[in-house]
Amino acid sequence: MATVRVGFIGLGAMGLPMAERLLRAGFPVVAVRHRDHRGPTALTAAGGRVVDTPAALAPLVDVVVTMLPSSREVEAVVTGEAGLEPDLRPGQVVLDMGTSDPAATRALAARLAPRGVDVVDAPVSGGVRGAVDGTLLIMVGGAPAAVARVRPILEALGSHLVHVGPVGAGHTLKLVNNHVALTTMAVLAEAMALVRAAGLSPTDALQALRHGSADSAMLRALAHRLQTRQFEPGFRIRLAHKDLTLVQRLADALGVSLRVGASARLILEEALARGQGERDIAALAADLDVS
C-alpha cells in the first residue's frame, strides 16, 4: 500500500478525516491547499504534504481522490486553470468520491481515456462519523481493472464496498441513496411539526418511533442531533437540494416520475429561501423544543 501515492483534493468536513485515515493506513498523501486553512494544517500535522494547485499535485501521485461538492468543482480541478489534465499520465486514476452527476462523470472518463487515465466514481454514505471511523458505505463505478487498482484505498476508508457497474454507476446509486435519505428527512421534519402541534414531547416521540416501523437511519440521526442541539454543518441544506436536483435530472432522463422527491425538494427550496442553505439538514427541525 505504501507504494501507492495518493493525491487528495477537498479537505472539507468529509475529506479531511478520509485523508487522515489514508495516512494512518500507510499511504503517502499529498493534498491541494483548501480554502479553509484548518484542513491543510491538520493534514500536515498528521504527516501529509500540501501543494498549491492540482497541476502541482498530478506528477506526485498515482491516484487522485476528489471529495468535492459537485461535478462542476471536479471538472474545474481536472480541466480548469492549473488543473490536473495536462500533467496526468497513463495508469493514473481519478477517483471521484463526492456526489456528482453521472452523465458528467461519464463525460470526464471519455475525455481522459485517450491519455490512458481511468475515472472511478466511488461516492460514500455514512456521514462525518463514518469518515472518521472508516465505516463508510462506498458505491463504486468503473472498469474492473481500475477499480482493482484503487480497492486498497477504498478498503481503508469504508467497511462496505459494492462495485455496482461501469463508470457513472456509483454516482447513480448514490443519487438513489440520497433520494431515499432526503425524502425521509423531509417526512420526519413534517412529522415533528405534527408532534409539536399536538403538544407531544419531541424527545419522547423520537425515542418511541425508533422502536417501531418508522425507524430509520435518518430518524436516529435526527433524534441525536435534536437531543444534543448540535446543528453544526455536516450535510448542508444547499447540498441536499443540489442532490435532489440531480436526482430529478436523472429521473427526467430515464422517464421516471418522482412525486415524493419533488415534494422533498420543495421543502429544501423553502429552507434555502429562509437563508438556511449553510445549515445542516437537521435544521429543518431545529426550532423544535426538545427539552
Q: Indicate which residues carry an active-site annotation.
A: 174
Q: How many helices (H) and strands (E) does the chain have?
A: 12, 9
Closest by Cα among 150, 50, 51 to 92: 150
Q: Are 28 and 5 in contact (CB under 8 A)?
A: yes
Query: Which segments of the chain are extended strands (E)?
Result: 6-9, 29-32, 49-51, 63-66, 93-96, 118-121, 124-125, 136-141, 158-165
Closest by Cα among 59, 63, 9 to 33: 9
CA torsion, ordered 250, 251, 254, 255, to nearest 10 deg: -150
Question: Each residue of 260-286: b (16+ CB within 10 Å) or e?
Answer: ebeebbebbeebeeeebbebbbbbbbe
Closest by Cα among 178, 135, 142 to 159: 135
Which amino acid makes up residue 142? G
Overall size of the chain counted in residues: 291
> How distant is the alpha carbon of residue 251 from its chain centre?
20
What is the C-alpha separation between 158 and 151, in angstroms, rounded? 10
Other residues' Cβ atoms within 10 Å of the Cβ of residue 164: 17
Query: Which segments of 103-218 are extended strands (E)?
Result: 118-121, 124-125, 136-141, 158-165
